[in-house]
Amino acid sequence: MKIGIGSDHAGFELKEFLKDALKDDGYDVVDYGTKVKKSVDYPDFAEKLVKGIQSKDIRMGILICGTGIGMSITANKFKGIRAARCCTTYDAILARQHNDANVLTLGGRLLGDELALEITKIFLETPFLKGRHLRRVNKIKKIEL
Ligand code: RB5
């Protein structure tokens, strides 16, 4: 699966770790930056990545800032994007099963590397359950129009 990853300076180190780990696992990973650890603005990188989803260059994305909150607020402004900030593996399971989230946001200042990787792999591998959840996601899509 082709996925995107992006961060600001506060998520940079976790982004580099996850990018390498996911590539080792066989994912095709597009890095939307930031490419160096100097201070940057998280909305710029959220926008680049979600445009990759909108244009279908990538299927899903991972965005990392200090808390995951700024990335989530920004990503959710864009049509077709359902970004979920996950701090636990259970968040990741339900964000996929119930919400069909297509962007995972993580807090680089909150999560250790291994927990972040576990959350990420679960997010990428858990299918949407559809059924009654599809009806609800369709209502979100109607609000966006
Ligand atoms: C940067 O200091 C920090 O504000 C940012 O990474 C993020 O946590 C915002 O939500």
Task: Give the pLDDT means over successive 10-residue stretches in the chain (145 positions).
Answer: 97 98 98 97 98 98 98 98 98 98 98 98 98 98 92
Ligand 1: does its nearest atom lie under 6 Å from the Cβ of 8? yes
User: How far, CA to CA in Å, does 7 sit from each of 22, 25, 61, 104, 128?
Assistant: 15, 20, 11, 12, 25
pLDDT at 89: 98
How would you list the strands of the sheet with 103-107, edge to edge? 28-31, 2-7, 60-65, 103-107, 83-85
pLDDT at 3: 98
Q: Kindly state if the Cβ of 52 falls inside 6 Å of ligand 1.
A: no
pLDDT of residue 94: 98
pLDDT of residue 90: 98
What pTM does this model have? 0.98
Instruction: Give, for ligand 1, the residue of 67, 69, 73, 74 to mutate: max count of ligand atoms closer than 8 Å to Cβ.
Output: 67
Per-residue pLDDT at 145 = 79
Q: What architecture is the 2-143 domain classified under in CATH?
A: 3-Layer(aba) Sandwich (3.40)
- Residue 69 Cβ contacting ligand 1 at under 6 Å: yes
